[in-house]
Structure 1
Amino acid sequence: MSKQGYHHGDLRRALVEAALHLIEEKGPTGFTLSEAAKTAGVTPAAVYRHFAGREDLIAECARQGFVIFGDVLEHAWDGGQPSALSAFSAVGRAYLAFAKRYPGHYMAMFESGLSPQNSPALGQVALKARNVMDQATEALLAHIPPDRRPPLAMVSAHIAALSHGVIELHARPPAGTRSPYSPEDLLESGVGIYLRGLGILPPDQ
């Protein structure tokens, strides 16, 4: 990429795109700021016009990812239509689809060591996705009497953990390995077993 002709916003965008490419290739901790600058076609000094360092650059990748992630989950949830269960399943499929389509963003968000809880900027944009998961979980729990209803935050966290586990183990397997089941089928069956175990779904559903 040429070092000439960058506008202010173009350079920042080029650096983010370079970082996303390197994250996909080497992981969020596997590249240097100099490599990101070289990939973007600029000098390392140019990076500091926009980012305080490598972690700041990765944080921007994560921030953009959470914005997209929240929109994807919200679109999948669609207000719980046509039913809470079908919409919840759509959210699970959207979780996997996001990780496949935006692997660099996903790794920056969840594998870089950056925590939305410790970063106001990340926490703010991550809130939308968390709210969608909470809404979807609350709708599934609505028919259970309050005194028998499991904690919403716990169920939502367990579903997120299942989703991340399927992504890590089966949606991005090492070269030469292959699961006999699709990630979508694995997630759907795993969530179904979990929800039936809690009494959220009847045995025959």
Structure 2
Amino acid sequence: MPKRGYHHGNLKQALVEATLQLIEQKGPSGFTVAEAAKLAGVTPAAVYRHFDGRETLIAECALQGHRIFGDLMEHAYGDGKPTALKAFEATGRAYLAFARKFPGHYVAMFESGVNLQSSAELALASERSRGVLERAAAKLSENIPADKRPPAAMFSSHIWAMSHGVVELFARGTPGAKAPFPPEDLLETGIGIYLRGLGLIPPDT
């Protein structure tokens, strides 16, 4: 029987899928190239036809993840409809949904220490997903006077950090780390408090 990677006709992708599985199981530094090769059904030497080593394997996982993430974020934002606020909140929910559905990609992207400038493709893909959130932040803050308006990059970074924190603490299924509220509610409430503080939405009555 042929090796699994060759059988699928795409050795490179077979190795990426094996790496994603190992990242989920062992973390980005807990496996070897030989383990990825074995899981893909090829010899360790075959890995080097496409990758220089584990770091470039992880970088490819991150690249594919950023592309998926960018698609999801753009779909969630939907050009700012039906309202700027609803669209902005949707990007936060998309972040949580991505982390749940693509845990291997998520870790490769945000927790592996991968250098986003290691390739032009990776840099562009990561900038795209981040750009959606910045665009949403800029649209939402248009009604704030220019001299009081926070930079969109800073505004979106705050929301990004909040989203990442909710994922890490409450949305990754870590034993003992469950919150008494759904992660989506935690994030939506946190975003609401932040936006009220900036004067972007009115206080609760």
- TM-score, normalised via structure 1 length: 0.94
Q: What is the Cα-based RMSD across aligned positions, in Å?
A: 1.8
Corresponding residue of 1:106? 106
> CA distance change for structure 1 residues 67 and 132 in 2, over 3 Å: closer, same or farther?
same
Q: Tell me whether 5-14 or 109-118 shows the greater mean CA deviation.
A: 5-14
Q: Which amino acid aligns with 1:131?
A: G
CA distance, structure 1, for counterparts of residue 145 and residue 119 of structure 2: 37
Corresponding residue of 1:169? 169
CA positional deviation for 1:191: 0.9
1:25 and 2:61 correspond: no
Corresponding residue of 2:38? 38
Corresponding residue of 1:133? 133
CA distance, structure 2, for counterparts of residue 90 and residue 49 of structure 1: 41
Corresponding residue of 1:3? 3
Corresponding residue of 1:181? 181
CA distance, structure 1, for counterparts of residue 4 and residue 187 of structure 2: 47
CA distance, structure 2, for counterparts of residue 190 and residue 63 of structure 1: 29
CA positional deviation for 1:125: 1.0
CA distance, structure 2, for counterparts of residue 168 and residue 96 of structure 1: 10
Q: Structure 2 regions of 5+ residues with no counterpart?
A: none
Q: Which amino acid aligns with 1:135?
A: R
CA distance, structure 1, for counterparts of residue 80 and residue 4 of structure 2: 49
Q: Tell me whether 120-129 or 182-191 shows the greater mean CA deviation.
A: 120-129
Q: Structure 1 regions of 5+ residues with no counterpart?
A: none
Corresponding residue of 2:191? 191
Q: Tell me whether 173-182 or 67-76 shows the greater mean CA deviation.
A: 173-182
CA positional deviation for 1:151: 1.5
Q: Aligned runs of 1:79-118 on 2, under 5 Å?
A: 79-117=79-117
Q: Which amino acid aligns with 1:157?
A: S
CA distance, structure 2, for counterparts of residue 184 and residue 5 of structure 1: 38
Corresponding residue of 1:16? 16
Query: Per-residue displacement from partner, 1:6-48 (whole Å, max 9, x unpaired)?
Result: 1695111110000000001111111111110111111100100
Q: Which amino acid aligns with 1:199?
A: G
Q: Which amino acid aligns with 2:190?
A: G
Corresponding residue of 1:145? 145
Corresponding residue of 2:124? 124
CA positional deviation for 1:120: 2.7
- TM-score, normalised via structure 2 length: 0.94
Percent of residue pairs identical: 63
Q: Which amino acid aligns with 1:114?
A: V
Corresponding residue of 1:49? 49
CA distance, structure 1, for counterparts of residue 179 and residue 159 of structure 2: 21
Count residues in correspondence: 205
CA distance, structure 1, for counterparts of residue 41 and residue 27 of structure 2: 20
Q: Which amino acid aligns with 2:144?
A: I
8 Å CA contact retained: 2:96, 2:163: yes
Q: Tell me whether 110-119 or 3-12 shows the greater mean CA deviation.
A: 3-12
CA positional deviation for 1:196: 1.0
Q: Which amino acid aligns with 1:3?
A: K
CA positional deviation for 1:144: 0.5
Query: Per-residue displacement from partner, 1:61-94 (whole Å, max 9, x unpaired)?
Result: 0000000000000000000010000111111100
> CA distance change for structure 1 residues 109 and 165 in 2, over 3 Å: closer, same or farther?
same
Q: Which amino acid aligns with 1:38?
A: K
